A and B are shown apart, each in its own frame.
Chain A
């Protein structure tokens, strides 16, 4: 590896992203529009302050941090491909495992952006860097989270970079380099979840979060939502490119998702039992979410939609017939995605803070500014993913179109 070759690889990759059909260019233009709109919205927030959001002292974390939490889950879901691909050496999934890593990179980029737009002094974000800044580890869980998320980003970027770089020069990838990294990405993925869950979990002031079941629930729900996106993306890639994704790979992923769904619903039930049966003053948060409190019901419809979606999707994935059928499979994926998005994005952060620690109910709903900033960040994430696919698919064409991986 020398500088000249890296340069050549980067230029070549860049060229690959320029070529594309009509659909590709309009998709990119659409994303660009969202990004510009988000950029303007963020500019207003940057100049006027977070007052342009609907967060206030009572609900001081909300939409941004919720999205962040959801996306950490998506990022970690790559493991669901890496484990069968590299631990069990199952070829149909190994061929496509790279997409899990691409998705992980895009999701982490979005995570970091969501944290950045949430902080009041973004110009001081460098303080969060280890050594250079004044990162408060081991005491602060958010400090840890910054570390593990960046670590996970670097890890996946190294893996993907290596695969693509070698493929660009038509060389086999270096197993001794990349397989340990892949294996290491499994505990790393679990750790980004666990640490993110601990950020909430560690706060005794918020009984809704201060439950040990939080981290396991994070993992269970992420193993549903991440693969759900992946399956939808696979279908799209199958339609729009030449890559081959075997049906058995898809149904295997769907089967794993069914287990994860079961676990997620089970843990949910366990929590509901504990809350309602013990019926302490801490129940108010769960009540606010599912039945509303003193006439405040902003989240109630979402909470039920999320629950119904998750149950229906679980049924669809449980029954082999609907799991194999592409129509019901896609439907299930969309339901799961929406269900978990609501669960992590809205129904975790906001009820945790409603009522606030002194019992006040401030009903939060995001402003348009927040939604536009959020949409802009999602657009960036999708663009990163699209560009990465645009480079990876032609380079890895041999692998993707042919079951024998280079060097395998």
Chain B
């Protein structure tokens, strides 16, 4: 039924390839490729696609992107590691509101430059009012930061354990991986934006137009569920830099932060810096009353 989506070339190609192969299969009795053909017809989401077919899809995807951007693009499908649950820490007393993380994220994760999509939103807050979202300002733009009377609160996906965005999706296009990262399958999302209504942190962003991504600024190290280019009309969000953290690196925002306000690690490992931080400091989460149980902790180190 379902063969069209936003990789028209790929799908048509694999459809044709599958089709010819299926005919071949009838003649020669080869069964592998005809199974692929059937899977093409019944569109499956990432979790359900067989390894063989996944390999084919990824190969075609890499070819397409390599041609399109003139760079050697790799698309990883690396899964979660056992015994890992990623968590994030953000030190509000250190953050100076410079927004380097915002643009570091854009570069790392191939966000659309026009219309602009930012997975991280830094909110300027008035020190005399404390944390107050209603009074916050995401569009602050002084000559220099930080300003005397303000402090800054960066917000991105809180990677909720009990994520309201997942349960509302009518087509199971978004889910939580075993290492706790909430991901979206851009080839499955129908763009209904239910998840955007459900997310209490404004963490989900929609591609209102065909995303613009210049070849020279593309990051070629991609993950299927992370920073590969998105089509028009689907939702995207922070993935803790899935393409980096599953390879033992820090998320881009952690590395780029000039004041070391951002911490990251494995919540299941007692010795990990996140766990140490949580033992030594006092952490809190945003909107704890909603029982979303974020894995994104704020704290004040000083």
- Which residues of A does B touch, CB under 8 Å? 48-51, 53, 55-58, 60-61, 115, 118-128, 132-136, 139-143, 146, 199-200, 202-206, 281, 284, 353, 355-360
Contact = CB atoms under 8 A, between A and B. Distances in A.
Contacts, number: 157
23 contacts: A49-B210, A50-B233, A51-B115, A60-B196, A61-B196, A119-B192, A120-B191, A120-B232, A121-B191, A124-B191, A133-B43, A134-B188, A135-B171, A139-B168, A140-B168, A142-B170, A146-B170, A203-B198, A206-B197, A284-B134, A357-B201, A358-B201, A359-B135
B233 A203 contact: no
A360 B235 CA distance: 20
Contacts of B135: 359
A115 B45 CA distance: 22
Contacts of A143: 170-171
B207 interface: yes
Contacts of A124: 2, 5, 171, 188-191
B167 interface: yes
Interface string B39-68: 000111100000000000000000000000
B1 A126 contact: yes
Contacts of A56: 208
Contacts of A140: 167-171, 194
Nearest to A142: B170
A128 B170 contact: yes
A112 B193 CA distance: 16
B1 A51 contact: no
A203 B2 CA distance: 30
Interface of B: 1-2, 4-6, 42-45, 115, 121, 123, 132-136, 138, 155, 164, 167-172, 188-194, 196-202, 204-210, 231-235, 290
Contacts of B235: 120
A121 B231 CA distance: 9
Given A119-B233, A124-B2, A136-B172, 19 more contacts: A60-B197, A61-B197, A119-B192, A119-B193, A120-B234, A121-B191, A121-B231, A124-B189, A124-B191, A132-B42, A133-B2, A133-B43, A133-B171, A134-B43, A353-B197, A357-B202, A358-B202, A359-B123, A359-B132
Given A205-B198, A357-B202, A61 B193 contact: yes
Contacts of A127: 2, 43, 171, 188, 190
Closest 10 CB pairs of A and B: A120-B191, A120-B233, A205-B200, A359-B133, A51-B209, A49-B209, A51-B208, A143-B170, A142-B170, A140-B170
Contacts of A119: 190-193, 233
A384 B235 CA distance: 34
B5 A121 contact: yes
B233 to A, nearest CB: 3
Contact of A203 (B136, B168, B209): B168
A119 B171 CA distance: 13
A132 B1 contact: yes
Contact of A135 (B170, B188, B189): B170
A203 B199 CA distance: 8
A355 B202 CA distance: 11
Contacts of A136: 169-172
A357 B209 contact: no
A28 to B, nearest CB: 33
